[in-house]
Amino acid sequence: MTSHDVVAKLRKILQTKKIGHAGTLDPLATGVLPILVNKGTKLSQKLMEHDKTYIATIQLGIKTDTGDITGNVIEER
């Protein structure tokens, strides 16, 4: 599900056209997707001004055809 999919689904559920998000859903990540509705959409710029923090686990020594863990291993060292 993409960020756009979430907004589209909530637009129908909440029956509003004034809705958006302040982030992006990454299929390999976990976290929060801030949804802004009606007057809350005015907060978007403030939310986007802040830095994000990531915690990652990496595996060294493999190369995949997609550049991430979902791809096929094409090289190992």
Is 51 considered catalytic here? no
C-alpha torsion sign, points 7, 10, 16, 19: negative
DSSP3 helix / strand / coil % (the chain, rounded to 5): 30, 15, 55
Q: Which of 26, 51, 65, 68 is catalytic?
A: 26
Contact by Cβ (8 Å): 23, 54: no
Which residues are annotated as catalytic? 26
